[in-house]
Structure 1
């Protein structure tokens, strides 16, 4: 009788594992069809269904973040806010000399002669609007990129490298590759943030950056591109220039996407692409829609 019970239990466990493996596999196969036809390296990490469903492609590769790195920089700044070393209400003087040309900056466009903004406003510009000048102001306030890395080492978060400012990346093409993350680590970072693991942030700071991420409007043709209107997506994009040979090192989007009955973490890095900008963004949009459909059907 005991042997029969054990056999039955093992059979149920085996069949459960097989069912799990088979349900995620069709999604992987559909994504692989998209990836296989593109002249690019594509890194993907997806986690959903309370971490029961996971999928990665090139998940351990070191891929350039570009502006995706503004999200971890914001987390490092908010950790200093929570320690009382900085305040979201403190005023930051931005001079005309700070407003470098030939870089993406809604701050510069709105305030060409300089201005004074609160720290919370600078973070919003940096994350929601992907402002490059705002990003370098935050790094200067922290004391440099090493301070960001030190923060992540302190919480035992690995597989991320933040070495260069936006200004440094604009001066030298290859510098952008010094700021990298793996797709799997990007998922881990979003999980840490969303579930506030390790008490990453205070409730106030968590709610603040959640709102900022949810209001990100850049790259609306990427993760959000083919999702139903009104879908909640808290995300951060990253985009590089294209060189004279038609090579684009980074078209990225990482985020938390909600279905009607749940959510999933999805990170897509299109790297070293010879495809057009429209195609690169469509890769992300198509994969996000396939993933949304999968989890929406599964969680009904």
Structure 2
């Protein structure tokens, strides 16, 4: 008995499954990827399933292929700004793939379907594509529920100290995690620290305050303050799309008991709105630290 594999169905199902698993990976590692990166990673994951049709490779080559494709897919989606978080994402993505395969095998055992085709550590199971998608959604939903009720996916608004240098002045602020903050520098594509100008103006140098005051009054100064490198940060909210003024800085550091740890983030943006609290002056997204 032979199994007929429809290539278009194989690619589409693997694309959608990968999207669910990458969503779950992002939840587990507190990372939020842009939609186009999610699409790219899902396309790469779907294409990697074509190894099923290739001549049988040696076992070490099969393992190396699986590890390499997982590393490429995760790197394409979440980037490699933090080695520890990148490796964690690779391991979680691999673990979720194994979990999904286990659920599919369990479904086969319960339904008595005898046809399983394997090749190069890739498994084709003769079950409904809809069932596979439901199982992938179950994996993603299960991760979300666990994090939701365990408190792992929520922010407790515990402020951390951040430090950077702007116009030859060292600025120290308090920042908290905001899971909805996904601002990125269009030049470096790195996450941005969002600062409330109203809350932080007393700690900023006078030239920066003068420039921001003019900006938020509706003017557009011709030149940024001396020694500052202007960045315009796109910001999309439910109310509007706008550009926030920001500045490139040499480095943003996390203030710890053992000193300042550089985060590799190099841009700060300013918002005219206050945060309705005096406990912090800045927000960072889940992929910032």
The question of a shared fold, defined as TM-score above 0.5 by the shorter chain, is answered with no
The structure whose RCO (Cα within 8 Å, separation 6+) is larger is 1
> TM-score category by the smaller chain?
under 0.3
Structure showing greater Rg: 2
Greater helix percent: which structure? Answer: 1
**Length-normalised TM-score, structure 2:** 0.26
**Length-normalised TM-score, structure 1:** 0.25
